Amino acid sequence: MPNLNIKNGNLIFGGCDTTWLAKEFGTPLYVISEEIVKDRCREIRDEFLFKYQNTRAAYASKAFLNLAMCKIVEREGLDLDVVSGGEIYTAIKANFPMERVFFHGNNKAIEELELAINNDVGRIVVDNIWEIELINKIAKEHGKKVKVLFRITPGVEIDTHKYISTGQKDSKFGIPLTENVIFEAVKKGIKYENIELMGFHFHVGSQLFSNESHIGAVERVMVLIKEIKDRFGFVTRELNTGGGYGIYYTHGDDPKPLSYFTDAIMEKIYKKCDELILDIPTVIIEPGRWVIGEAGITLYTIGSIKEIPDIRTYVSVDGGIPDNPRPALYGAKYDAVIANKADEEKNKVVTISGKCCETGDILIWNLKVPEVESGDILAVFSTGAYNYSMSNNYNRIPRPAVVLVNEGNAEIIVERETYDDLIRKDRVPEYLR
């Protein structure tokens, strides 16, 4: 894991002693390394944006978003991919340049589209035919012309969990490449006065270690681009190839450098443009997990330890489903260490359980640890993506704080929720008082 080391037996992350972070800010605690995020952004610039002409990279903010993250993303020269009014609002409040925002989603609400259109988001990524009509209507009402991409489902095989696989034809996302559907959509995109069709988008899935799905999707979309040029004389100016690049969670994961994906994507696009005599479009990538996943760890305090002889030992922590629903949701796997015993020999195998009333609230099965005691601090790795952003208040447990660390400095970027926060929106009808 990058940005990690051990000092006096304690795990150091982003130059900060994690046991000190736990004491200072409490647990559970999300910790994000600014340095790792910046390193990833630098890799995107060097290996993609500067290497290839007419390219853009949008950070998929669903992975992790708050005001500070918007600021980092903007400073690092990336665009922003959003999927909800809440993410748009966060970008607006962070003064993120709205022309650099891509607005996605398979069921954008009218109010969300109005918010996007009134704030001049750069692109709306249209997910279905119904939405094209709606966007055109709203844009007309507001006297705007909206630049759009059409999200297509390329119909490719994807080697990942089915809950995070999106490129197959049978998907709730995107316009299928069925002739009468896609050409109908394109006709509307060309004809509608308040829409400016810029091109196409696909996102094949997430946590991928092979570039084959991306290459397969490029192949199909380039054929589509050619057909559309021949039929309608429409020249595609932009092609957004989504995100999906895998990261390291546990042994067996085989993450690749960014260029493994982007070089293959660009090579394929250049080849197809040459072969089909097409103009090379502006190419956009949209990684989320790859930017922030390994930049995050979560710290917990260990509480009860229950040994069931000859079966297993449950070591419970002060979080679980509320701060990380992924293991319960789709069997996501994580690695962890006891942060205050980081250099001790691991001679036991335990199961790390959350504190929620769900048998499935298990964070890690069969983790190797040293002798573990109540009060120890557990550090779970690679929790930067889809943890804070998927957090919830199950069992009325307040969400943890998020701390940004960098070279020994630690700053709160999201405050810990309080019990008062939990009841702030509750109302009691008169007759129950």
Ligand X SMILES: Cc1ncc(COP(=O)(O)O)c(C=O)c1O
Mark residues 80-99: x for contact with ligand X by CB under 6 A, - for none. Answer: -x------------------
Q: Which two tokens stand for residue 316?
A: 């419970």
Measure the CA–CA gap between 121 and 125, rounded to whole angstroms: 11
Q: Which amino acid is at 186?
A: V
Measure the CA–CA gap between 203 and 182, rounded to whole angstroms: 17
Q: Which two tokens stand for residue 320?
A: 């679980």
The answer to the question of residue 242 lying near ligand X (CB under 6 A) is yes
The answer to the question of residue 319 lying near ligand X (CB under 6 A) is no
How far is the CA of 187 from the CAs of 150, 220, 365, in angstroms?
12, 19, 52
Measure the CA–CA gap between 76 and 102, rounded to whole angstroms: 17
Q: Which stretch binds ligand X (CB under 6 A): 213-221, 284-292, 323-331, 392-400?
A: 284-292
- Nearer of residues 2 and 408 to ligand X, judged by Cβ: 2
Q: Which stretch binds ligand X (CB under 6 A): 19-27, 109-117, 275-283, 288-296?
A: 288-296
The answer to the question of residue 286 lying near ligand X (CB under 6 A) is yes
- Contact residue for ligand X among 32, 36, 57, 60 (CB under 6 A): 60
The answer to the question of residue 105 lying near ligand X (CB under 6 A) is no
- Nearer of residues 149 and 337 to ligand X, judged by Cβ: 149
Residues in the chain: 433
Give least dist CB 285 to ligand X, A.
9
How far is the CA of 108 from the CAs of 25, 36, 116, 221, 258, in angstroms?
37, 32, 10, 24, 30
Q: Which stretch binds ligand X (CB under 6 A): 15-23, 243-251, 371-379, 416-424?
A: 243-251
DSSP 3-state assignment of 156?
A: coil
Measure the CA–CA gap between 174 and 420, rounded to whole angstroms: 41
The answer to the question of residue 289 lying near ligand X (CB under 6 A) is yes
Q: Which stretch binds ligand X (CB under 6 A): 55-63, 108-116, 217-225, 322-330?
A: 55-63
Q: Which two tokens stand for residue 426?
A: 């509750």
| Nearest alpha carbon to residue 284 among 67, 97, 42, 101 | 101
Stated as kind and residue range, the H or E segment containing 132 is helix 129-141
- Contact residue for ligand X among 14, 243, 255, 327 (CB under 6 A): 243
Stated as kind and residue range, the H or E segment containing 410 is strand 409-414
- Nearer of residues 3 and 160 to ligand X, judged by Cβ: 160
- Contact residue for ligand X among 56, 108, 203, 326 (CB under 6 A): 203
The answer to the question of residue 383 lying near ligand X (CB under 6 A) is no
- Evaluate the omega torsion of the peptide bond into residue 370 and state whether it is cis, within 30 degrees of 0: no
Give least dist CB 118 to ligand X, A.
23
Give least dist CB 47 to ligand X, A.
15
Query: DSSP assignment, residue 208?
Result: B
Q: Which stretch binds ligand X (CB under 6 A): 175-183, 264-272, 285-293, 306-314?
A: 285-293
Give least dist CB 221 to ligand X, A.
14
The answer to the question of residue 325 lying near ligand X (CB under 6 A) is no
The answer to the question of residue 28 lying near ligand X (CB under 6 A) is no
CB 278 within 8 A of CB 260: no
Q: Is 357 considered catalytic here?
A: yes
Stated as kind and residue range, the H or E segment containing 32 is strand 29-33
Which positions touch ligand X (CB under 6 A)? 60, 62-63, 81, 104, 203, 206, 242-245, 286-290, 385
Active site residues: 357
